[in-house]
Amino acid sequence: MTRAGAPIIVVGGGVAGLATALALAPRPVRLLCRANQGSDTASALAQGGIAAAVDRADSSDAHALDTLVAGARHNDAAMVRWLCRQAPAAIGWLEAQGVGFDRDAAGRLQLGREGGHRASRIVHAGGDASGAAITRGLRRRAQHAWHIQWRSDVDVQALRLRGGTVDGVRVLDSRGRRHDMDARAVVLATGGIGALFARTSNPAGANGSGLALAMAAGARLRDIEFVQFHPTALDIAGGHCLPLITEALRGAGARLQDGPGRPLMAGLHPLEDLAPRDVVARRVAQAQRTDGGAWLDARDLDSDWERCFPTVLAACLAHGIDPRRQRIPVTAAAHFHMGGVAVDADGRSSVAGLYAVGEVACNGVHGANRLASNSLLEGVLCGRRVGESLARLPRSTVPAGAHHWVGRGAELPPAESAALRDLLWQAAGPERDAAGLKSALQTCAAWRKDGWQAQLAHCLLTAALQRDRSLGAHYRTDAT
């Protein structure tokens, strides 16, 4: 038996997975995703665009500095410099794939500004529907790429290890049938963990399933305690997966207020409403507890809502709020995981044959707090880099031998899943302390045998307790 002719298997149909699969040409690729053609990905929901220093007054060095400052300088500086220098080329590559970015009447890219950026450098496509536009463009390319075989409605449940090397996956299809697939290598591009929290801007599928697979295979993890909370999701009572209220609204002049209408961020940070997300998210959480809630006032914006903010407008109207005439109730929500599977610059994990890219991976580029609109950028650039690296893999022959399967294990029952989400939100949300983390760990330990979600949560809580100083999005109220 050999793996010489086996395809590279990419798990995940978001921007990172699509970019990886496209860059693998001419190597055969099998692209696997749970929902129909990746429609449940965080990439498709992303409202922010792509950060790139394309204006003459801007520079990649300035972009890199903003990335390092936002990340509390916990970043891998070399990766940050590489990402920011390659950003303008990423815009050009996406345009070549058929993505149409928003331009003014003179044909110049329209540049927005978001939190943590000292310059306007956010490139959008379709206003606040950038993620959908970029995903749609890459999906069309992938569907017509001869080297990619797309398989939807399958869930990867286990990895096959032979001699310490990952060389296959086990999937369950929508009809409950099990399939085993050979692989030359496996790339996890499964997204983040936001759906493990009671309030999130992520889709329900962003529940850490890929991270749990990597853990089961023995892959090293990195910075798993760093979770970014977006300060402005639509505050819907009892909601779990909440509509995002894009940061670009604040970049266009919308302002955060407390219940009585007082400015929420005045005097708290030099950038006020456009401070890094961790700062704003904590203030929003505090206002919800003590100041009658948090609100975004966008009523005075001189913007064409249907063109610039169609996603936000539709979400608000669907919940009985007209943001052109009413303040928008907002809440902090789990948004992005800076930690994940520890990988090098080419996506290699500590387990041979296992790679990771995008939000499930941690290559150090985001540090302790991701800079706004660097996530789609990372997905595109790192996806292409991982794909190009894997395309150069020798078509080596691996002798037959004993193998074994490692999988996530059982799912938590629904009641315990809901309780776990509340537990993580209370103990490991925008503000954390030792007492809350210790109590949550005790509760979580009792659930570990019941489902893999509790095992992953236990790992996150342990890391958060061990880091007893505040850093970036990890904020300890009891830090000395």
Catalytically active residues are: 277
Selection from 190, 328, 145, 168 nearest residue 246 by Cα: 328
Relative to beta strand 354-356, strand 185-188 is: parallel
| Residue 420, token pair as written in the block | 């776990």
C-beta separation of 457 from 420 below 8 A? yes
The tokens for 152 are 């939807």
Q: Are 398 and 112 in contact (CB under 8 A)?
A: no
The answer to whether the beta carbons of residues 410 and 43 sit under 8 Å apart is no
Six-digit token pair at 292?
A: 């009658």
Q: From the centroid of its chain, how far is CA 383?
A: 14
Determine the 3-state secondary structure of 196 from DSSP: helix
Q: Which two tokens stand for residue 99?
A: 């993505």
126, amino acid identity? G
Paired residues of 230 in beta bridges = 333
Measured CA to CA in angstroms, residue 241 lies from 205, 228, 237, 244 at distances of 10, 15, 11, 9
Q: Can you give the C-alpha Rg of the chain in angstroms?
A: 21
Burial class (CB in 10 A: 0-12, 13-18, 19+), 237: exposed
